[in-house]
Amino acid sequence: MLYDWANSAYATIVLAGFFPIIYAEYFASSIIDSERTLYLGVSNSIASIILILIAPIFGLLSDKFSSKKIFLIIFALLSILSTSLLSIISQDSYVIASIFFSISLLGFMMSNVFYDSMLLNFNSQKYDSISSIGYALGYLGGGLAFVISLLFLYFQRTLL
C-alpha cells in the first residue's frame, strides 16, 4: 500500500506535473517546441518498447525463482536513481535528460509489473481491501506530493 503512495507521487510529479515543463524550459530550451515534444515522445516510446520486450522475460524469471519483490525493488531503485540523476544534468542537455527520463520511466513501469502481480498473491477478500486502500493512499500520496512541490516552487521563487 505504501508503494502505491510513492508510485503515485512519481506519476503526479515526474510524469504529469513538472518534468514536461522542466524538460521544455530547462533541458531543451535551446530547441524549438515541436522538437522538444518529439524528443520527449521518443523517450517515452523507447521506454515503452523496451518494457514490451523485457517484461515477459522478467515475468517468467520472477515466477520461476519466486523473486517478484526483488525485481520490484531493483526496478524501483533504477527509477529512483535515474530520476535523481536528472537533478545534476546541465541546462540544454536534452539528449542526456531524455536518456535518464527513459530509464526512469522504464524502471517505474517495470516495478509496477511486479507490484501488480504481487497483489494476486492475496486471497480475494484481502485483495479487495489491500487494492482499495492502496488506491486511496496512491491518490493521497500523489496529491500531497504535488501540493508540497507547488509550495516548494512558490517559496523557492519568492526567496530568489
Whole-number pLDDT of residue 4: 82
Whole-number pLDDT of residue 76: 95
Place of cell 522504464: 106
> Which residue intervals of the chain are DSSP H helices?
2-10, 19-22, 33-65, 68-85, 94-119, 124-159
Q: Give the count of domains, the chain.
A: 1
Whole-number pLDDT of residue 160: 62
- pTM exceeds 0.75 for this model: yes
pLDDT by residue for the chain (160 residues), tens digit each?
A: 778 888 888 999 899 888 999 999 999 999 999 999 999 999 999 999 999 999 999 999 998 998 999 999 999 999 999 999 999 999 999 999 999 999 999 999 999 999 888 877 777 777 777 778 888 888 888 899 899 988 988 887 777 6
Alpha-carbon separation of residue 96 from 22, 23, 68, 82, 125 (angstroms): 14, 11, 30, 11, 46
Buried b (16+ CB within 10 A) or exposed e, 8-33: bbbbbbbeebebeeebbebbbeeeee
* Residue 34 Rama label (left phi>0; alpha psi -120 to 50; beta): alpha
Whole-number pLDDT of residue 104: 97
Domain span holding position 86: 2-159
